[in-house]
Amino acid sequence: MPIHIKKYDVDYSRRFFLEKMTKGIMGAGVLSPLWPLIGETADITKAYPEELLSIDAFTQGKLKDGDILDSSNVEIVKDLLDPVTYLQVSQQGRRIKLVPTTTDVTQLFPHDFLKASLSNQGKAELDLNGNVVVKGSDNQWIGGAPFVDPKNGLEAFANITLSWGRHDTSIFAIDDYDIGPSGNVEYQYQMAWCEKNFTALVSNPSGPYLEGFDNKLRHQAIWFTAPDDTRGTSFLNIWKYDQREFPDLFGYLPAFKRVRRFPTNQRFEPLVPGITFFLSDAWASGDPMLTWGKHKIVGRGPFLGCQSGMWQGDKENWSKEHLVHGGKKGKTFYETNYQLCPEVIVVEAEPTGFPRAPVSKKRIWLDARNMAPIAYVTYDRKGEIWRSFEIGFSQQKQGNNANLDAKGNPEWSWSYVHSHDIQGDRLTRFNQVEKIKGGVKTQFNSEKAYEKYLTVQAIRKLGS
């Protein structure tokens, strides 16, 4: 049982974060720097006072772990929620379960990524163009989060852009439910997402780069396997390492029966009817980071977000249907686990490379423990909140049941997404599942992913 220092109350933390922002001190941690602690023991309890590690202490007993956050008590933690989540809970019947803060950082990363983040700590810098290089060289990044203590907004964005899924290769099987203004599930899709990095590799025995893919960061594909009228619709993005450049985009549309090359700047459009997911949304960093501008850190402090306990390994196909509730018909939200995240870094950026984007700004809350984007909202051209893209992260472990990596460690990934267009009142729910139609299974570091899903040939054969 860790000993917590009671003298640091909530106001102390608030003053501390304010002072940090004012003085431009960017290291994470309140009582001591966070990352040296993580490097030593992976335990963050010595970095933060108890008030930042327990919702009970933070709210002075008004809320405790296991409580359900709903419209009756959400005002207590209004300042710890992004405005869309607050709206969902206060007005739309959403319920959130409060769970203990994760203090063991090994539960907040895939094993190899955490290892690389620690071993490569301090080795990254931004070159004159704003791209991440190994300090003192022109070499591309070598893996892990490049800036565990980001000093500016761009460094913070680099942490979530260079390695989206924190695995060298990820294949996600996704059940999608799109809820309309009526509160009904109006559209339903099954889709797959595959991404493979060619640089900044963390599990590759040969090192951080994959031979033959110079100057490329990753290939990423999204394809639909159901229903019938979208089955075979596939898009392949080829990302360059230079974050000033747009990815190349190839698409297979069933009507055309062939792969065609597409312009790539339309990244704020739904891919299929009824969905509220845009390419720009992915991982809160769906566009090359230097196609956006005016990156800045605008705040620090505690926040509520989903970082644990969402993997439903005991349910058929990892289903979360038993957690669905809220909205007009009780079909809108998953009941999710939120924990008090002791320190988030709030960053903003503007789509300076997209003059006609319907978005004027995005704001992201990055958990300082693992740099995961636990909340993300965008604003329309009038400056009003338009959408949120809430990603729930979780270790894939539930009691004795776990999805293990090649070395026997529990996998870690995103588990669900709530993408909510509050102006159109449409919400898209993603659930990462074990398997979807078409035989696609969620997998990490699959050796055959490139040939199967990430080439022009591959998306042609995915079509029918």
Partner 1 sequence: MKQTKTFSRLPAIFSASLLAMPAAHAVDVDVSGFIRQEMAYSISNDQNPMNRGSAVVTGTLPNSTGGPDFVKQDFDYDNDWNMMATRAEVNVSIGISENVKAFVKVRGFYSADVFNDVSIESGAKDVNQFKVDHHGQCASIFEVCDDDFMIDLASAYVDYSEGNLWVRAGIQQIAWGEAIFFRVMDVPNGLDLRRHTFLDLASEEYADERIASPAIRISYNLNSQWEIETFAQMFQPSVLPQTGTAYSVINSPFTVRNDIGFDKVDNKINAGVRLVGQLGDLGLQFMATSRHNPDPIFKWQAGAQTALDPSFAGLGYGDFSSQPFRATAADGAISAPGTGTLGGVDWMTVAHLAGVDGVEAVNVLAREFDFIGGFLAGELGLPGPDYATSIADGRLVLDAFSSAIGDMEASIVPIYASENVFGFGANYIFYSEPDSWLDQLVVRFEMTYTPDKKFTNNFSRDFIEEDEWVTGLVLEKYRRFSDDFPATFLVFQWMHKSESDLSGRHLRFLGGDASKAPSGGEESGGWDAVSFAVQQALPGLIWRLDMNVLYDLNGSYLIQPGVRYKPNRRWTIEGFASFLDSKDNAGALQPLAWADEVTMRLTYQF
User: Contact residues for partner 1 (CB under 8 A)?
Assistant: 184, 186-189, 212-213, 226-229, 231, 246, 248, 254-258, 260-266, 269-270, 272-276, 353-358, 380-381, 424, 426, 437-439, 448, 451-452, 455-458, 460-461, 464
Torsional class of 430: left (φ above 0), alpha (ψ -120 to 50), beta (otherwise) = beta
- Least distance (Å) between residue 425 CB and partner 1: 11
- Least distance (Å) between residue 72 CB and partner 1: 33
Our CB check for partner 1 shows the closer of 404 and 456 to be 456
Our CB check for partner 1 shows the closer of 135 and 448 to be 448
CA distance 42 to 34: 9
CA distance 413 to 460: 28
Amino acid at site 399: G
Our CB check for partner 1 shows the closer of 47 and 417 to be 417
What is the residue-wise DSSP string for 189-230?
EEEEEEEEESSS-SS-TT-SS-TT-TTEEEEEEEEEEESTTT
CA distance 343 to 368: 6
- Least distance (Å) between residue 205 CB and partner 1: 19
Q: Which tokens belong to 136?
A: 């003192």
Our CB check for partner 1 shows the closer of 120 and 419 to be 419
Q: If you search the block for the tokens 């230079």, which residue do you land on?
A: 242
CA distance 397 to 402: 4
Half-sphere exposure of 344 (CA within 13 A, CB side): 27
Our CB check for partner 1 shows the closer of 79 and 451 to be 451
- Least distance (Å) between residue 162 CB and partner 1: 20
Residues of the chain by 3-state class (helix, strand, coil), percent to 5: 20, 35, 45
- Least distance (Å) between residue 156 CB and partner 1: 24
Our CB check for partner 1 shows the closer of 15 and 260 to be 260
Our CB check for partner 1 shows the closer of 88 and 428 to be 428
CA distance 246 to 265: 7
Dihedral sign from CA coordinates of 351, 354, 355, 359:
negative
What is the residue-wise DSSP string for 275-292?
---BGGGGGG--S-GGGS
Our CB check for partner 1 shows the closer of 51 and 281 to be 281
The gap from C-alpha 428 to its chain's centroid, in whole angstroms, comes to 15
- Least distance (Å) between residue 39 CB and partner 1: 37
